[in-house]
Amino acid sequence: MRQDDLFLTCQKAFQERGLDLLLGYEKSSSGFLRPAVFTAPESLERISWDPSASLNLATYLPRFKSKKVGILAPGCVSRSIIILINEGQINREQVTIIGVPCRGLIEKRKLGDLEGVRLVEFRDVSFVLEKENQRRELNLEDYLSESCLSCAYPAPVIYDYLIQGPSREGSKGFLEKRIKDLTRLSPEERLLYFKREAEKCIRCYACRQACPMCYCESCFVESSEPRWLQAAPEPVDNLIWLLTRVYHLAGRCVQCGSCSRACPEGVDLMSLLAWANQSVFELFQYQPGLKIGEKPALGEYRLEDPDFFWGGGQTEGKKCCS
Amino acid sequence: MEDFEPKIIAFLCNWCSYAGADLAGVSRFQYPPNVRIIRVPCSGRVNPLFVLKALYEGADGVLVSGCHPGDCHYQSGNYYARRRLEVFNNLLNFLGLNPARFKMAWISASEGAQFAQLVREYVQEVKDAGPNLEFVREKADLVRFLNEAR
Amino acid sequence: MLFLKLKRENFFQALGEFSEYALYVPRREGERVLLKETSLQDLPENLYFERTTGSAKEILFPQEETLFYFKRYEPLERPKLEDRKKLVLGLRPCDAHGIQVLEDNFLNLEPVDVYFKRRRENTLLVTIACSQFEDNCFCDSLGLGPDRLNGADAIIYDLREAVGVLSRSAILSEKLKGYAFQFQEVENEDQVEKGEVPRRDPEQLPILSPEEYLALISEDKLWEKISSPCLGCASCTYLCPTCYCFDLQDVTYGPVGKRVRTYDSCMFGLYTLEASGHNPRPTLKERWRQRFLHKFSYIPFLEGILGCTGCGRCIEVCPAGIDLREVIKDVAKFKR
């Protein structure tokens, strides 16, 4: 993808669509990208897109309900936008989607000690880091986020403008394998694994804020009557937090990995989210964020839905997938 | 372990399952007394957080029961409940929670005998699984304080 | 203040005098560096410790703290105070600056926070002058430095074969005297031998006066621009050495209960939500403005020291990549 293509297309979008602002990325002092709001076409000279981006930009959309917003969107972000439209959070007309190709996003944690590291450039299948005047070239594939290694839709599925460039090939392998490995453990071992992950959580809610689907004005953790869990980061309370957030995302999560990259403690969220989505797909053949006008999976029903209830006629006796 | 009496919280929909449980009572069907019933207007009212909260506060098992699909007093409440609770149940299983901790059922208003049968089966399942120690809130310090204050 | 010089072996021997204190040092656990209890034998000879992921406040002001227990119909139980003595070794001058801000808040205002007070009284904080700069840290850009005593009880300087200890704690001074080959009273910490403290040519960040910052409070465009990438999570506040906001929650079990204090964050929407439903800080613009002014205007005005230590943890952890150094520059540029 060419940076000047990006710049020119975004400028065009600003003018042709009469945008109030454009959500994109700019380079930080260390060379890694960070989200930025561009309010004037002149500021677009800073706009950039490469695999060092981290947040799903659609998370900023519900803030701009009454504005005309442009947004850079690889596959996952475009699907998030479709879901936001389907759930009535934004209108299709007010958002201008500038589709960008996606080679995957880097998981900064995999880079280890980032002290003094500067990102120099991205090449075809590698990228170059500099530290203390020494340069290292690394293989891009080895440092991608788990979500990207299992991404089935890297290229944008909906767009108003499209920037040309190569995208990753869609695949599902990585998280599917992680789920299979986890299901091979005994339930007690699995619970121990997730409890240990939950103990890392400090309840900063960065995951919730980084997620475009978590747009509730009042989150269930803030409910005081009834109070579902304590504010203190106790192990079981943290587990309730993680489990419930994942459940609220079942059939709505596009597995962009924004939450996982935002988490300062490295909690394993992707396994639970991938399982929830897999569950919804296996039960109801539903994949979120692919079609405008679809209702969320848990917001509708079919008479022939699989039935695992005691006393149910159809599939009685069968235990749910485990 | 032999004298472990599980505490089971049951969310029963008003129009079918609660009535069915009532019928079991007046028909004098015998079933163990371990179930504490909470009446909800419809199984669709059940928020999976109810299940988590019940376990968190010390329940050994949670039962949710509603009208059979097609018979919901509010037309479609139980269809939504079916989707939601099945996804939720899957998630609990993946988490590693003992499957005995959560049970979903359809009991109609005329199925008094079936309700008794369900409770008999489920109580035994939970007895075999043992007390809920893995998903309950930490309250040892409060218990100690309560006992020493006496 | 007493400045002592000890041979390295003697310093470790001196630490043996503090057997009634539990020894805490920064230790790496997977991705994080936490303060962990350790034994004297496990201390590294070069006295180098990684900087903790969270700040030092966690040892005096933990994320979860039970304040007291209560029983229905009975008089309140006296507060549970932490009596355990701790010697915390290996923190940095920026952590100690944060402690100063916390002390001003918890100890110098009425009512005094008895929990913090008891912990502070029972804790000896011994920092170590930085031997290198951390990524993103900028204390020297704020006029602070990697060799300051700040709010610590003592700071250790690496003098090659010896260690220099600048102490303002009577307990530490007394016990260390016996092992030192040289000691003297000093008035000013700049008079002492500090060894090789890292120096660089830092970009001097333009820090305005509290009044000048306050005058910018109604500049909506400025705060909108700064806060636009902010997600409103609490990552920066939880890790910040000077953040001290907390929430109180009662946890009950039948007729008994306890009051628990946990970290709260001004970045949460719920923080200023009033019972009427009105929220005086409805969007992140207001909340970011408050956070910035608190650190750079209100604390300096009330306490005479900067509310930011320059540790850079917020820059490291922010999922939206907000860089406080750039914010400081943007704000100063906006000043008329």
Query: For position A281, what pLDDT does the model report?
Result: 94
Residue A314 confidence (pLDDT) above 70: no
Residue of B nearest to C255 (CA): B146
How far is A202 from C235, CA to CA, in rounded Å?
9
- Residue A116: list chain C partners with CB under 8 A: 135
Q: Chain A residue with minimal CA distance to B92?
A: A243
Residue B1 resides in a domain: no
pLDDT above 90 for B91: yes
Inter-chain contacts counted by CB atoms under 8 A, chains B and C: 24
C-alpha distances out from residue C126 to A145, C2, C47, C157, Å: 40, 14, 12, 11
Q: Is C247 in the A-facing interface, judged by CB distances under 8 Å? A: yes
Q: Say whether pLDDT at B55 is over 70.
A: yes
Residue A321 confidence (pLDDT) above 50: no
* Contact between chains at C253 and B143 (C-beta distance less than 8 A): yes
What CATH number is given to the structural domain containing B26? 3.40.50
Residue A225: inside a domain:
yes
Tokens of C138: 């900028």
With beta carbons less than 8 A apart as the criterion, state whether C93 and C127 touch. yes
Compute the Cα dihedral for A70, A71, A75, A78 and give only its sign: negative
In whole angstroms, give the CA distance from residue A36 to residue A55. Answer: 11
Read off the pTM: 0.93
Residue B23: inside a domain: yes
Residue A128, in any domain of the structure: yes
pLDDT at C259 over 80: yes
Q: What is the DSSP letter of C254?
A: T
| Interface with C, mutate which of A204, A237, A263 (most C CBs under 10 A) | A204
Contact A209 C270 (CB under 8 A): no
Q: Quick check: is A104 in a domain?
A: yes
C200: in domain: no
How big is the CA angle at A3 (ends A151 and A92), to the nearest 5 degrees?
Answer: 55
Contact in structure between C60 and C120 (CB atoms under 8 Å): yes
**Partner-chain contact C257 B142, CB within 8 Å:** yes
Q: How confident is residue A113, by pLDDT bands cut at 50, 70 and 90? A: confident
For C226, the token pair is: 């700064």
Which residues touch B37 (CB under 8 Å, ≥6 apart)?
A: B10, B12, B18, B21
* Interface mutation vs chain C, best among B138, B145, B148, B150, most C CBs within 10 Å: B145
Which residue, among A2, A14, A120, has the nearest Cα to A69 in the 3D structure?
A: A14
Alpha helices (runs of H) in B17-56, residue ranges in sequence order: 17-26, 48-56
- Residues in chain B with CB shorter than 8 Å from the CB of A272 are 91, 94-95
Find which of B83, B92, B122 to mutate to test the A interface (most A CBs within 10 Å of its CB): B83
Distance from CA of A116 to the nearest CA of C (A): 5
CB-CB under 8 Å, A32 with C247: no
Distance from CA of A225 to the nearest CA of B (A): 13
Predicted pLDDT at C202: 80
Residue B89 is part of which domain span? Answer: 8-149
Q: Is the pLDDT of residue C336 over 70?
A: no
* Tally of structural domains, chain A: 1
Tell which of C126, C160, C191 closes a domain: C191
Query: Can you read off the two tokens belonging to residue A178?
Result: 């992680």
Task: Read off the tokens for A86.
Answer: 């389907």
Instruction: Name the least confident of A173-182, A234-243, B19-28.
Output: A173-182
Which amino acid, one-letter code, is at C46? N
Per-residue pLDDT reduced to its tens digit, C261-295: 999 999 998 999 999 999 999 999 999 999 999 99
What's the number of CA atoms in the CB half-sphere (13 Å) around residue C200?
14
Q: What is the pLDDT of residues A282-304, one digit of tens each?
A: 999 999 999 999 999 999 999 99
List of chain A residues whose C-beta atoms are within 8 Å of the C-beta of residue B90:
275-276, 279, 283, 320-322
- The total domain count for chain B is 1
The predicted pLDDT at position C190 comes to 86
Do C48 and C129 belong to one domain?
A: yes
Residue of B nearest to C253 (CA): B142
For residues B42 and C321, what is the distance between their CA atoms, to the nearest angstrom? 46
Q: Do B87 and A251 touch (CB under 8 A)?
A: yes
C8 and C137 inside one domain? yes
Instruction: For chains A and C, count residue pairs whose Cβ atoms are closer than 8 Å.
Output: 89
| Residue contact A226–B96, C-beta within 8 A | no
Of all residues in chain A, what percent carry a pLDDT higher than 70?
Answer: 97
Residue A316 confidence (pLDDT): 45
Q: What is the dihedral of CA C59, C64, C69, C73, to 10 degrees?
A: 150
Higher-pLDDT residue of B28, C33? B28
The whole-angstrom distance between B1's CA and the closest CA on chain C is 25
- CB-based contact, C321 to chain A, within 8 Å: yes
Question: Judged by CB atoms within 8 Å, which residues 126-145 of B form the interface with C?
Answer: 139, 141-143, 145
The answer to whether the Cβ–Cβ distance between C71 and B146 falls below 8 Å is yes
Average pLDDT over residues A241-269: 95
Give the other-Cβ count within 10 Å of C46's Cβ: 9
Assess if residue B2 is contained within a domain.
Answer: no
Interchain CB contact of B57 with C (< 8 Å): no
Residue-range definition of the domain harbouring residue C13: 2-191
pLDDT digits (tens, 9 = 90+) for B4-50: 999 999 999 999 999 999 999 999 999 999 999 999 999 999 999 99
Distance from CA of B141 to the nearest CA of C (A): 9
For chain A, the average pLDDT equals 91
Chain A 70-99, CB below 8 Å of chain B: which residues?
A: none
∠ Cα C242 C245 C250 (to 5°): 145
Q: Which residue's entry shows tokens 């995302």? A: A249
Measured distance CA(B44)–CA(B63) in Å, rounded: 14
Evaluate whether residue B3 is within a structural domain: no
End-to-end CA distance of chain B: 28
- What percent of chain C has pLDDT above 70? 99
Q: Is residue C67 scored above 60 in pLDDT? A: yes
Chain B environment of A248 (Cβ under 8 Å): none
In a domain, C205, yes or no: no
Q: H-helix or E-strand containing C250?
A: strand C246-253
Which among A250, A299, A310 has the least Cβ separation from residue B87? A250
Q: List the chains bordering chain C where 3 or more Cβ pairs fall under 8 Å.
A: A, B
Q: Name the domain count of chain C.
A: 2
With an 8 Å Cβ cutoff, is C209 touching chain A?
Answer: no
Q: Is A40 on the interface with B (CB under 8 A)?
A: no
Q: Is C175 left (phi over 0), alpha (psi -120 to 50) or beta?
A: alpha
The pLDDT-based confidence of A317 (bands split at 50, 70, 90) is: very low
Q: How high is the pLDDT of residue A322?
A: 42
Of residues A307, A119, A77, the one with CA closest to residue A210: A77
Residue by residue, DSSP assigns C280-302 as: SS-SHHHHHHHHHHIIIIIHHHH
In a domain, C204, yes or no: no
pLDDT digits (tens, 9 = 90+) for A48-104: 999 999 999 999 999 998 899 999 999 999 999 999 999 999 999 999 999 999 999
CA angle B4, B7, B13 (to 5 degrees): 150
CB < 8 Å to C255, chain B: 146
In a shared domain, residues C51 and C170: yes
Q: Is A115 on the interface with C (CB under 8 A)?
A: yes
Report CB contact under 8 Å: C32, A265: yes
Q: Do A209 and C232 touch (CB under 8 A)?
A: yes
Tell me: the pLDDT tens digits for C211-226? 999 999 999 999 999 9
Same domain, C108 and C215: no
| Cβ–Cβ below 8 Å for C257 and B141 | no
C-beta atoms of C319 and A210 within 8 A: yes
Average pLDDT over residues C99-124: 93
Residues spanned by the domain of A291: 3-299
